[in-house]
Amino acid sequence: MSFFKKLKESISSKTESVTKQFKDGLEKTRKGFVEKVAELVTRRKKIDEEFFEELEEILIGADVGVNTVMELIDDLRDEVKKRKIEDAVDLQPIMSEKLIGLLRGDEDNEIKLNPDGITVILFVGVNGVGKTTTIGKLAHYYKQQGKRVLMAAGDTFRAGAIEQLEVWGERVGVEVIKQSAGSDPAAVMFDAVQAAKQRGVDILLCDTAGRLQNKSNLMEELNKIFRVIQREIPGAPHEVLMVLDATTGQNALAQAKLFGEKSGVTGLVLTKLDGTAKGGIVIAIRQELSLPVKLVGLGEKMEDLQKFDSEQFVHGLFAGLIQEEEETANIEQ
């Protein structure tokens, strides 16, 4: 059985609709990355130094990350020698398997919920990455599951941030706890936790400021929020999700390194993955950070915020090649 056929069969039929979202959401990356590799393999035919140089360029262009690319190319060179591979086409499935290996991790991608009461999920990240939209979409997701949800407008510094969350609240039918612009975010969190307790809420989703005057101010503010939440609900927050804009590529990775070190981040959300040809950033993040990607944004619709799944991601990435192979097999029959 071929590699691509095995890949397809590894995806359960139950997940076909989700697979379509990953396939559609990764179209730009597929064209900018996987199809370029397929074209290189067809054009070059033989494996030589120029082949590896071009492959390296394609991988770096897709934001797979320089360190990861160098390691991958070294691995492929070793495989070529070991297996005495001469034709480029024979290297393609090996490279695909290695990319899947880079994506898979032992870490749990599930969002951790509190089994004994209110689950508090804190969102951090710089302004403009889609943090508020992510909170709104996740509120919709949990409400659809029958959970009682509340949102806290803790970004009191950015103009319009409170109003933006309120618009999402109206849209998904979830109440927003807020104070006036410029208020102390920790005070907003205190009010939100009290309201969550009084109303028997299952999930409390908390927005936070993306930028203050400097980094130490921002960390101080986050620490204050942490203390208030932990005092009121021991063990909370249960998740601290850092939201990153996938279209910024390596810049997103740099943000995660800088921000994640000191803010207790437990997982990442990659937004706007459908808007970039550089979806390889997912691979770079998995390799260079010890943080799991928990959610990905694959489009504008409410349902386009999906739990990250490496099998789904790879299926979406290689969808065109799987289809091509099926068509070739049908012609041969």
* Known binding residues for GTP: 125-132, 207-211, 271-274
How far is Cα 195 from Cα 68, in angstroms, rounded to an integer? 46
Q: Measuring CA to CA, how many Å separate 293 from each of 18, 66, 260?
A: 17, 20, 13
How far is Cα 288 from Cα 307, in angstroms, rounded to an integer? 20
How far is Cα 210 from Cα 221, in angstroms, rounded to an integer? 11
How far is Cα 64 from Cα 219, in angstroms, rounded to an integer? 29
Known binding positions: 125-132, 207-211, 271-274
DSSP class of 89: G
Angle of the 66-83 helix axis to the 281-288 helix axis, nearest 10: 90
Pairing of strands 239-245, 203-208: unpaired
CB 42 within 8 Å of CB 90: no
Longest C-alpha distance within the chain, in Å?
70
* 14: exposed, middle or buried (Cβ count in 10 Å: 0-12, 13-18, 19+): exposed
User: Which two structure tokens, joined as six digits, stand for 137?
Assistant: 């979409």
How far is Cα 188 from Cα 133, in angstroms, rounded to an integer? 19
User: Which has the closest alpha carbon to 139: 4, 284, 305, 265?
Assistant: 305
How far is Cα 156 from Cα 95, in angstroms, rounded to an integer? 47
